[in-house]
Amino acid sequence: MSGMWRPVSGAVLAAGLLTTACGGGGGGSASPDAQGAGPRVSVENCDGEKATFDSPPGRIVTSNASALEMLLRLGAGPKVIGTGFPPGKGALPAELAGQAADVPVLGRTVIPKEKLLGSGADVYVQTFRPANGTSTGPRPEEFDAAGIKVVELLSTACAAEHPGPQKDLSAVMGDIERLGTLTGTSERADEIVAGMRAKVDAVGERVAAVPEAERPTYFVFDFDAGTRQPSAVCGGQVANAVITLAGARNVFRDCDGTFEKTGWEDVVAKNPDWIQLTVRNRGSAEADEKAFDEAERFLTTFPATRGLTAVKKERFLRIRSERMTTPSVANAETVERIARTLYPDEFQDVR
C-alpha cells in the first residue's frame, strides 16, 4: 500500500524543550528578550527549523478546527483572527462553541492563498501538511514576504519526516505545550496535559495486566471514506495511539502511512473482534446517530462483512472521527471510552 501521509513521531518534553521521539529537536521555549521588550518565543517545526518571535504573537490564523480548539482551550481565542475548516455545529463543547463562532472563517475548507497571505496574521498554525504534489498554498518565500511564520502541529504535520507508529499521545500533548509556549499560556497548557495524562494513565493501570497477544483486535470503519474500498487507519495516525492506549490492537497498525485504501478481503482476513463505526460531525446528535445507523446497516447486510465476528456479536462502538483522527483533548477521553467498552469488568467501580 502507499499512504496519503507517512507516519508521525511522538513528541516528549525533556530538559524544558520538546523533542521528537525519532530524534530531531522539536518544541518550544521562551526566554527574556535582550532588549527587555518581553519573552522571546521559539517553536520548532517538523524540519527542525524554528519559528522565533520577539514576543508571543497576537494575530493567529489556524488551518482547521483542531488547532483552533487547542488555542481556545488554552485561553488564546482572542488572538485567533481567522481559520479554515471551521468546526461544525455540535463539534465543540458548549463552553468553546461560542468563542469559535466569533472567529472569522477564511475558508470553509483550505484557506485560499490570497486570503491567507492578506490576513495580517503573525503566525499560521498548520495541522496537516498537504500531500506531495497537491499544495496550492503559499510558498515559504510568500509567507516570508507577508510577514507570516508557520508553526506546525508535530502530531500530524510531521508524517513524512518522522516515520514510525504512534503508540501514545505524547505528540498531541507536546503540541498543546508548544502552543502554550507560543501564546504565553504555558501554565494552562500544563494543566490540560496533566489532565489528559492522568486519564490515560488511569486506563493503562486497569488494562496493563492483559498480555499484548490477548488484547482484542480493532477495526476503524470510516463510513464517510466510502464503502466500495474501505480506508485503513495505519500505525502513523493519532487514532492508532488512542486504540493502543485503550488496550486494543489496531488490525491495520502495520501498514505504511496514516491512512491507506485497502480491500474488504483484507478486513475479512483480519476478522476484528470490535469495529468502530466512524462518521464526521453532522451538526446534531440525531443526524450523527442516523449516519451511525447507516454504517452499521451496511456492515450487517454487506455479504463480505456480515459474517465477521464483530458484526455477528454486535460489537460496535460509535465514535465521531474528529475525536480520533485529529489531535485534541478528546483523544484522551476517547481512550477511556474505548477501554470501558472493551473491559467493562475493569471499570465497574467507575461511573
CATH of the domain at 216: 3.40.50.1980
What pLDDT sits at residue 2? Answer: 34
Q: Looking at the structure, do residues 218 and 303 belong to the same domain, yes or no?
A: yes
Mean pLDDT within 215-244: 95
Q: Are residues 190 and 252 in the same domain?
A: no
In a domain, 294, yes or no: yes
pLDDT for the residue 21: 33
Quote the pLDDT of residue 22: 34
Q: What is the mean pLDDT of residues 98-121?
A: 96
At 15, is the pLDDT very low, low, confident or very high (cuts 50, 70, 90)?
A: very low
Tens of pLDDT, residues 302-346: 999 999 999 999 999 999 999 999 999 999 999 999 999 999 999
Average pLDDT, the chain: 88
Higher pLDDT, 326 or 30: 326
Is a pLDDT exceeding 80 seen at residue 14? no
Q: Is residue 2 part of a domain?
A: no
Q: Per-residue confidence at 200, pLDDT binned at 50, 70, 90?
A: very high
Residue 148 and residue 191 share a domain: yes
Same domain, 218 and 282: yes
Confidence grade of residue 135 (pLDDT, cut at 50, 70, 90): low
pLDDT tens-place string over residues 277-300 = 999 999 999 999 999 999 999 999
What pLDDT is attached to residue 12? 31
pLDDT recorded at residue 26: 40
pLDDT at 11: 33
Q: Of 35-49, 108-122, 136-150, 175-189, which gets the smallest average pLDDT? A: 35-49
Range(s) of the domain holding residue 309: 209-347
Secondary structure in 3-state letters for the chain: CCCCCCCCCCEEEECCEEEECCCCECCEEEEECCCCCCEEEEEECCCCCEEEECCCCCCEEECCHHHHHHHHHCCCHHHEEEEECCCCCCCCCHHHHHHHHCCCEEECCCCCHHHHHCCCCCEEEECCCCCCCCCCCCCHHHHHHHCCEEEECHHHHCCCCCCCCCCCCHHHHHHHHHHHHHHCCHHHHHHHHHHHHHHHHHHHHHHCCCCHHHCCEEEEEEHHHCCCCCEEECCCCHHHHHHHHCCCEECCCCCCCCEEECCHHHHHHHCCCEEEEECCCCCCHHHHHHHHHHHHHHHHHCCCCCCCHHHHCCCEEECCCHHHHCCCCHHHHHHHHHHHHHCHHHHCCCC
Structural domains of the chain, count: 2
